[in-house]
Amino acid sequence: MLGYTNEKQGSAFWQDLLANRIETAEELEGRLGLKIPRLREIIRKYPMRISPHYLSLIKEKNDPIYKQCVPDPAELENDRGLVDPLAEERFSPLPGLTRRYPDRVLFLVSDQCATYCRFCNRKRKVGRRGTVTKETIQEGLRYIKAHKEVRDVLLSGGDPLLLETPQLETILRYLRDIPHVQIIRIGTRVPCVLPQRVTPSLVSMLKKYHPLYINTHFNHPKEITPESAKACSMLADAGIPLGCQTVLLRGVNDSVKTIKQLMEGLVRIRARPYYLFQADQARGTAHFWTPLDTGLEIISALQGNVSGLCIPHFCVDLPGGGGKVLLTPESIQERQKDALIIKNFEGELYEYPIYS
């Protein structure tokens, strides 16, 4: 039923762009004109991919775009954190489907992204062939059909918009035919890293499956380009409400000034800030972690200074599968020397270690 491949087909413009992505050490060092220590070793462990569009946004070594996509030896050297920080596997009734809440599921429909973010919390999975297959997709769809309590399906990955339009449509059509599925959501970084993928034919397909929401992912004001603005406005014009999930990243966007500019820019391109995430404690990403207080300070600095439209929820996904919790001063029950005790949505207490 569902063909699965993101590769090598068609000659549409976005596919040509995707075909020109950077994936090898030689290509990257050639394009950047510099040597990166242990690059080949890092890529063997955690795949690299950079779309031509995203690469073109790098202006100098270690700028905010560079840090998000160019492998760093710290990925190998700092082994703090967990391979599966959110215990997604523990809450997976099937491979590729996570059910942490009664009414909604996270459903992985692609294992490819247009650019692999070095801070990704699914670093263990993305870019590895065969984590998502047509069998896992079919079984996921059957599960959703058989579970009437699931009213909200969040398609994720990898990036669902890297599927071919007809493949994605097959999934959407199947979901839309299930009476208890009220809302379909797509989580995608395409508007940021491969905005050319948002084509008129994609958009006219998507708008047949309302109510459909898209949450995109921008982390820095420099990512808001004319191409991204165009992609977002095409989606918004098709009646798709756009949200944005941003990850707070050390050395990339961990300041009030940068987050404020980003949030204002997002509202301008019609993507409503939704979550500002504390970076998950995934192994190989410790160099991106910020102290929890940084996020709290940024949110309180935004309050009163920008419109409420520009203020996302500061949110932490509790390690070990506690689920998402909005961090406000009230959710912090106790402060210990090296940890905060945080109450989750079920009233249970979790310990969140502070690395600062």
Ligand X SMILES: *Cc1c(COP(=O)(O)O)cnc(C)c1O
Q: Give the footprint of ligand X on this chain (CB under 6 A).
A: 98, 100-101, 104, 106, 154, 324
Q: How far is the CB of 104 from ligand X (least distance, A)?
A: 5
Which residues on adjacent β-strands are paired with residue 169?
none
Size of the site for ligand SF4 (CB under 6 A): 10
Task: Single out the catalytic residue among 117, 192, 232, 244.
Answer: 117
Task: Return phi, psi of residue 250, to 5°.
Answer: -60, 130
Nearer to ligand SF4 among residue 120 and residue 299 (C-beta): 120
Task: Single out the catalytic residue among 67, 99, 104, 185.
Answer: 104
Q: Which of 79, 76, 21, 78 is nearest to 43 (CA)?
A: 76
- Burial environment of residue 212 by CB neighbours within 10 A (0 to 12, 13 to 18, 19 or more): buried
Q: How far is the CB of 101 from ligand X (least distance, A)?
A: 6
Cα separation, 43 vs 40, whole angstroms: 5
Cα separation, 250 vs 248, whole angstroms: 7
Nearer to ligand X among residue 91 and residue 209 (C-beta): 91
Do residues 235 and 198 lie in contact, with contact meaning Cβ atoms separated by under 8 Å?
A: yes
Q: Considering CB distances under 5 to 8 angstroms, the limit depending on partner class, which of ligand SF4, ligand X, none binds residue 49? A: none
Is 159 one of the binding residues for ligand SF4 (CB under 6 A)? Answer: yes
Cα torsion through 233, 237, 240, 245, rounded to 10:
10
Is 100 known to be catalytic? yes
Nearer to ligand X among residue 154 and residue 279 (C-beta): 154
| Window 114-133: contact mask with ligand SF4 (x via CB under 6 A) | --xx--x-x---x-------
Cα separation, 219 vs 251, whole angstroms: 12
Is 254 known to be catalytic? no
| Window 173-212: contact mask with ligand SF4 (x via CB under 6 A) | ----------------x-----------------------
Among 50, 105, 113, 194, binds ligand SF4 (CB under 6 A): 113
Identify the sign of the CA torsion 48, 155, 161, 193.
negative
Q: Which residues bind ligand SF4 (CB under 6 A)?
A: 113, 116-117, 120, 122, 126, 157-159, 189
